[in-house]
A and B are shown apart, each in its own frame.
Chain A
Amino acid sequence: MAMTGPRRSGRSRLTILLLVLTSVTVLTLDFRGVGFLGDARRAVGSALSPLQGAADFVATPFQNTWNGITTYGELVDENEALRTQVEQLEGEAARNADVAVQYDELVSQIDIPWVGALSTATARVVQQPASSFSHIIGIDKGAGAGIQVGMPVVVGDGSGLGGLVGRVVDVGEGSASVQLITDPEFRVGVRMVSSQRFGTASGQGVGRNLLIDTGIEPGEADAKIPSLEIITTSGIDDRSSFPASIPVGKVTRTRPANGGLTLEVFAEPLAKLDQLSFVSVVLTTPVS
């Protein structure tokens, strides 16, 4: 009996040591790209899918009520803004034909070939990021719809522009995972439409603007970047994983960085990432 305590204590230590070793081993295997971990994730995703659907079905009325309560002030403001907008639009109705022509010209000028030129697969967003550190959403289309890892995901905003949402990072037969552009690990080559500057945009977390490393020196003659300038994917060479000219964001501010040697540009994503219900996967051939 006197041995029970120490024996149990020893067994406990052994168990905990085994658990730690297992975690570290799995972590190492994941970094080595062992395939079965991805399969396990997809299997669990498929198994949880019906439960998640049922949970969403149950929660929807409560969520709508909650959103109505918590965003009542915003709804009032939005309603007021929409009324104003409707009045403006009514006043501009006569100019619509002209605006349409101008819009076509604008599209051709800023060169957005993915609008109507590339085939897309529209998918419903079925899973929001599962934790505060996750920037991955789930969609209900996968390999069966022609989706592959690396394809860009976009969304419209009703005004014909919209923008880049992210990149497909995992694909199952009927579902896929999309890495949002706010993910700190997300990188994309971008081009500034009017100044024709190139850079690399990276995510900075939820609710934060993208950071664009331009390599521009603040002292350069044309270093001034217009506020609200649109940035698009650059598609600059064969190594770029995205086609050119997918709208990404609009410039909000700039600041000197690296001791004043370079200029950092911040851009607000054009896609409203907190309101995603449907997205479109651009069915391009991803570059490996």
Chain B
Amino acid sequence: MLRAARLLLVLILVLTVQTTWLADVRPFGETGDLLLLLAIAAGMAGGALRGATVGFIAGVAMDLVLLSPFGLSSLTYLTVGFAVGAVHDGVLRSAPWIPVLVTLLASALGILFFVMLGQLVGQQFRVPNLPRIVAVTSVMNTLLAFPALFVARWIEKAAPDRMLQPSMRGLR
């Protein structure tokens, strides 16, 4: 219950920041994607299932503020959250650069996956803009990787012990 409350609070704050401050900060005309970052961080902090669940919820939240096809963001973010959780569970976690690298790659792949899914359902994207969008969003998300991971761990710490990943139990 506490974990859900924390997640809801974080979602509202992130959504507000995404639609206000971040929408105004547009290097090269593009912006970061904090909801995608939240899914990635949840995958790193809580594993594949948590990454997928938080990714789905974050995606629904994003779908509610965009006018793109409803479900496109949720499907993308849950896939990214799941993939990050699955991959991250299988690698050494001690190296501090791993979250940075994972965020950079997952953000880039997440955007490409979003575009690919969008094309499948008839959305039109302009390919010439894509490298710029991928670069700006990935870099902005990567700059925020550690704060996002901190927040994701804070949410996960509210879970009962039996639900935590083994790596999280020592963080209490």
Contact = CB atoms under 8 A, between A and B. Distances in A.
Contacts of B69: 27, 30-31
Interface residues of A, number: 49
B167 interface: no
A8 to B, nearest CB: 9
A287 interface: no
B67 A55 contact: no
A262 interface: no
Interface in A178-208: 179, 184-185, 204-208
Interface string B113-132: 01100100101111011000
B163 to A, nearest CB: 10
Nearest to A60: B24
A174 interface: no
A208 B115 CA distance: 19
The dominant DSSP class at the A interface is helix
B71 A26 contact: yes
B124 A185 contact: yes
B68 A19 contact: no
A27 B17 contact: no
Interface in B10-68: 12, 15-21, 23-26, 29-31, 33, 48-49, 52-53, 56, 59, 61-68
Interface stretch (A41-49, A96-104, A219-227): A41-49
A129 to B, nearest CB: 6
Given A19-B56, A133-B68, A133-B114, A206 B30 contact: yes
Given A23-B75, A208-B129, A44 B64 contact: yes
Chain B interface size band reads: 35 or more
A169 interface: yes
A261 interface: no
A208 B67 contact: no
A205 B129 contact: yes
A12 B110 CA distance: 22
A30 B20 contact: no
Contact of B65 (A16, A44, A56, A66): A44
Interface of B: 12, 15-21, 23-26, 29-31, 33, 48-49, 52-53, 56, 59, 61-72, 74-75, 78, 82, 111, 114-115, 118, 121, 123-126, 128-129, 133, 136-137
14 contacts: A15-B49, A16-B48, A19-B52, A28-B71, A30-B69, A30-B70, A31-B69, A59-B24, A129-B23, A130-B23, A130-B66, A131-B62, A205-B128, A205-B129
Interface of A: 12, 15-16, 19-20, 22-31, 37, 40-41, 44-45, 48, 51-52, 55-56, 59, 63, 66, 127-134, 136, 169-170, 177, 179, 184-185, 204-208, 274
Given A44-B65, A131-B33, 18 more contacts: A19-B53, A23-B78, A26-B63, A27-B69, A27-B121, A48-B12, A48-B16, A59-B21, A59-B24, A63-B24, A66-B25, A129-B23, A131-B66, A133-B68, A134-B66, A170-B67, A205-B128, A208-B126
